Structure 1
Amino acid sequence: MKLSREEHKTRLTNAPSEEISPQLLLQSIKDAHEEILLLRGRLAEYKWLEEALRERTHELNERMKELDCLYAVSSCLMNHRLSFGQMINAVIKEMPRGWQYPKATCVRIVVGDSEFASRNFRRTETRQSANIRIDDRTEGEVEVCVLPELAQGQPLTMLHEEQALLNIIALWLGEMLRYRTETKKG
């Protein structure tokens, strides 16, 4: 007679110890082992899900930082009360917040013969850059570097999404330069 798992539990729980047969005890041990294996599988799945959720949350936080940076940069570029130099310096101040390690990130923007940089700017091996272009002409460059001493032991890498962010900022700077050039002419 084959008993269900629940029936085994009920018989073991309710039967006096002298009435428990070796077969019933053996089947109960097998059932318990199966249940342990099932629970181990579930635990491994939960751990995997937890790690996947943690990674996804980190990725979403990085994208949110990038979007906040784009919003701040666009606000700087749209502020017509700022002089050209003030506007570029405001952009430089806002840019690090979009990178993985804002405190370790420094920025330099070169436009024509003018160079603007964050106070702590130093060119390092961990860097990204993008050309500022108007039509087919390169008018300058935006460069972002990570200062190893400020990265606090974090891996010195830059994300490809950060390069995309930098490309957009360089594009916007080119459009802003085109606009300023056209308004001076007109």
Structure 2
Amino acid sequence: MEKDSVIFDDMLKLKETVIFIRKESIKGNLVAKDSIAVIAGIEEGEVEPLLARMLDFPEFIELKRISDSEGNEYIYSGSEMTDRYVEILMGLKNKDMLKLIAETVRYESKKYPRPTRADLFTKKPYSINLEELRELLDSLSEESDYRDLKFTEASNGTRFIYSEQYMTRFYATKLAEWYEVLQYETP
């Protein structure tokens, strides 16, 4: 009977941890592996076996692990948060803002294809203040790793960034004009 109680208690801790991870993912937050001991009410040494046990259950298959540049590990729910969003969060944690901006612009230029509004990076989850963003964008052209990133403007002055690996200047400029001006003028 005592063994059944221990198994039930372990399952309860496992389920509560998974629910917490899913709720945090819905909010757009990653859960640090280091915080799981507190969340589950277990010892530090029990965290890894708990996480490994999650993989034994098909209903928890969407849980994913990722590490930042310093080796800190995080867990999130892949059904509540896209991998692309997690890449953005990891870029923010790694504090390499130029790389994050470049990856975002290249991703949008290739995937959609579309130029990226420069002021996107002032909004969540990026939340870069305007002055810092100006400095970052000014330094883009100085870095050899980012030479493919170019700027264009719509006729209303809105600045866009695109990657010439995936888009021509002509195409990026026409799309910028469409997004900012023409779509609102066309009935």
User: Structure 2-normalised TM-score?
Assistant: 0.28
Q: Which of the pair has more CA radius of gyration?
A: 1
User: Structure 1-normalised TM-score?
Assistant: 0.28
Counting helix residues as a fraction of each chain, which structure ranks higher? 1
